[in-house]
Amino acid sequence: GAVVSQHPSWVICKSGTSVKIECRSLDFQATTMFWYRQFPKQSLMLMATSNEGSKATYEQGVEKDKFLINHASLTLSTLTVTSAHPEDSSFYICSARTRQDRYNEQFFGPGTRLTVL
Amino acid sequence: QKEVEQDPGPLSVPEGAIVSLNCTYSNSAFQYFMWYRQYSRKGPELLMYTYSSGNKEDGRFTAQVDKSSKYISLFIRDSQPSDSATYLCAMSAGSSASKIIFGSGTRLSIRP
């Protein structure tokens, strides 16, 4: 149980284009999903918290107009990197919380590696 | 000073050895402590989930939390080459509004 998928697993795009990454909870309903960014040999940095049916909460320093998050259903959240630039190249990982009373138990997707040329 | 400090390694040990991974932290409000394993180019996998101080054992893995010293450990017994990965400690104060703070990860290599 508690399986989270991401699509695509990797993507290469040209500078200035937009890229959408999907995060799905396959065998449970996730009222809350999280988006992280990870640079090589560094830890996970939380970008935003996404609650189903409401606007995402972004961490300080994360541009909400650049990283658009939509959590349209209890099993799907999307992250769209708009007007991507080479500095946006990174490993993006989503996670989902299975239960409201276990705030800290997050299950992670396999990640999406984005390369912007 | 970072909220969570973790030695990045790399740590290389022979197969069968006992591995000790550690993190220190500065925020006394942290109540929940987790260990994640992350293989290269994959998302983290939750290994251990503990609350407050004490020990928790799951198979070859034992997690220890010493809140008085603000120090947590993960022990791996009878280490296997398949245990080679990056291990991330993580912790949280525990409310629904609390973020999970991750350590930078320790790269572990088990030599056959």
Q: What is the mean pLDDT of chain B?
A: 92
For A62-85, the pLDDT digits (tens) are 999 999 999 888 899 999 999 999
Q: Which two tokens stand for residue A84?
A: 């991507």
The shortest C-alpha distance from B50 to chain A (Å) reads: 10
pLDDT tens string B50-87: 988 889 999 999 999 999 999 999 999 999 999 999 99
Q: Is the pLDDT of residue A117 over 70?
A: yes
Q: What is the pLDDT of residue A104?
A: 66
- Give the pLDDT of residue A2: 80
Chain A environment of B8 (Cβ under 8 Å):
41
Whether A103 has a pLDDT exceeding 80, the answer reads no
Predicted local confidence at residue B26, as pLDDT? 95
- Which residues from A are below 8 Å from B100, CB to CB? 46, 104, 106
Would you tell me which residues 61-80 of chain B have a C-beta closer than 8 angstroms to some C-beta of chain A? Answer: none
Instruction: Return mean pLDDT, chain A.
Output: 90
Percent of chain B scoring above 90 in pLDDT = 71
Closest by Cα among B91, B88, B62 to A105: B91
* pLDDT tens sequence across B21-37: 999 999 999 999 999 99
The residue in chain A having the minimum alpha-carbon distance to the alpha carbon of residue B85 is A41
Check: CB of residue A45 under 8 Å from CB of residue A58. Answer: no
Report the distance separating Cα A62 and Cα A84, nearest Å.
14
Residues contacting residue A60 through CB under 8 Å, at least 6 positions apart = none
**pLDDT surpassing 90 at residue A93:** yes
Q: Who among A41, A105, A108 is closest to B49 (CB)? A: A105
Report CB contact under 8 Å: B43, A93.
yes
Question: Burial, B44: exposed, middle or buried (Cβ in 10 Å; 0-12, 13-18, 19+)?
Answer: buried
Asked whether the beta carbons of residue A111 and residue B43 sit closer than 8 angstroms, the reply is: yes
List CB contacts (< 8 A) between B42 and chain A. Answer: 110-111
Contact by Cβ (8 Å): A103, A77? no
- Measured CA to CA, the distance from residue A57 to residue A47 in angstroms comes to 9
Per residue in A15-32, pLDDT (tens digit) is 999 999 999 999 888 888
Question: Can you give the pLDDT at residue A102?
Answer: 65
Q: What is the pLDDT of residue A98?
A: 74
Q: Give me the pLDDT at residue A43, please.
A: 84
Q: Which residue of A has its CA nearest to B44?
A: A108
pLDDT in tens, A29-54: 888 899 999 988 788 999 999 888 88
CB contact under 8 A, A95 and B99: no
